[in-house]
Amino acid sequence: MFKFGYHIILLILKAAFTLKKSGQETITIMKALEHQHQGKFDSSAIKKAARFQGVQQVFINDAFVQLINRNTNTFERTSNKLYFILTGLYDDIIDQQILDEKSLNQLFEDPSLAKTDLFETKVLVDVHLSLLKRVQNIADYTSTLANIHQAQKDSLQQINSTINKDALLDITLRKGGYSLLMCRQYIDLPSSKELDICWYHLGGIIQITNDLFDIYKDLQEGIKTIPNSVKNVNEIQKVYEQLVNNFIISLQHLPFEKRKIDVLKIKLSPIPAFGYLAIHNLIKLQDQHKELPNLTTVPRKSLIIDMEKTANRIKLIQEAYHVYKAN
């Protein structure tokens, strides 16, 4: 318990002292891109990139580089910021159908030849080309990028669809898994199949956790996900527990000292804990019934988990400890 508490407290303190500064640096980069390309990011896009790049940096990237006894450097942290700007733009282009599929394919196949007057695509090409210059293994990077692009195109099947659960889970895991593997490309870690597998499993957990927290929003937008389409909480709980188990096994197979892996496990434990927190919320909705109610009829406040509340933050740490000790 002491070891767990010690590293979690250090993690919380690091987040408290670095997230605001990191977020402001991301905003500065985005403002420079606005000036350069004569356009404006949506305010929600700025807020999203500024917030999530910092969370990714502190809770994942910084945790993994400790395996090789160092901290991430300025170059790596800037690359991570650029990546979150890129993915935000890419998601908007896909969701808002700013470009047709053929144009989007051409853009990623050879961004240097892209000709566009749209602010979003001009910035996308600029950031994409910048990131290409920052990675060490171009072949791995472009392969991962192609897998993300395919997963995103496949995810269009989730809109107002009757897609089956297996296909839905496959898309979900590929979206999350390959997205996190992209982040891995921006930090200098040893080339390792075991590391790739670990990051892929963690990415799948992050994606399905996002879906658990976005149930209300996704229902409003007509997007089908595993969490908003199951009839019984046991279904999603079983799927999630298997994903967490796969991730923990992949952690144990990493080619590093056992004590370092154990510390990494502590630092990463809050990530699957978020998912368990959301699942427990669904359990309350199901209560003594055999099935969940029709989630479209459930009030927003019953589907939203406010992580600003102290009680929920305490529950998160408790769940993280359970993840650490139970696996």
Mapped onto helix, strand or coil, the DSSP state of residue 159 is strand
Asked if 229 and 165 count as a contact pair (C-beta separation under 8 A), the reply is yes
pTM for this prediction: 0.93
pLDDT digits (tens, 9 = 90+) for 145-162: 889 888 988 888 888 678
Dist CA 20 CA 11 (whole Å): 15
| pLDDT-based confidence at residue 79 (cuts at 50, 70, 90) | very high
CA atoms within 13 A on the CB side of 169: 12
**Shortest CA distance to 204 belongs to which of 181, 184, 231, 224?**
181
> Among 52, 162, 152, which Cα is nearest to 108's?
152
Phi–psi pair at 93, nearest 5 degrees: -65, -40
Separation CA 165–CA 162 (nearest Å): 9
No. of H helices and E strands in the chain? 16, 0
pLDDT confidence of residue 196: 96
CB 233 within 8 A of CB 283: yes
Encode pLDDT of 192-234 as tens digits: 999 999 999 999 999 999 999 999 999 998 899 999 988 899 9
Residue 7 identity: H
What was the pLDDT predicted at 118?
82
Helix (H) or strand (E) holding 152: helix 138-154
| Mean pLDDT to the nearest integer, 297-304 | 90
Domains of the chain by residue range? 1-134, 139-327
Helices (H), 155-306: 165-184, 193-213, 215-220, 226-229, 233-252, 258-268, 270-286, 300-303
Q: What pLDDT digit, counting tens, does each position of 85-102 carry?
A: 988 888 777 777 777 777
Q: Any idea of the CA torsion for 134, 173, 261, 241, to the nearest 10 degrees?
A: 160
What are all long-range contacts of 108-115, with beta carbons under 8 Å and residues at least 24 apart? 108/145, 108/146, 108/149
Q: Is the pLDDT of residue 288 over 70?
A: no
Q: Is the per-residue pLDDT at 124 higher than 80?
A: yes
Please give the structure tokens belonging to residue 231. Answer: 């009839």
Q: Which has more confidence, 116 or 2?
A: 2
pLDDT digits (tens, 9 = 90+) for 2-47: 899 999 999 999 999 999 999 999 999 999 999 999 999 988 889 9
pLDDT at residue 114 in the model? 67
Backbone angles phi, psi at 191, to 5 degrees: -65, 120
| Alpha carbon distance 22, 76 (integer Å) | 13
222 CB-contact burial (10 Å; exposed 0-12 / middle 13-18 / buried 19+) = exposed
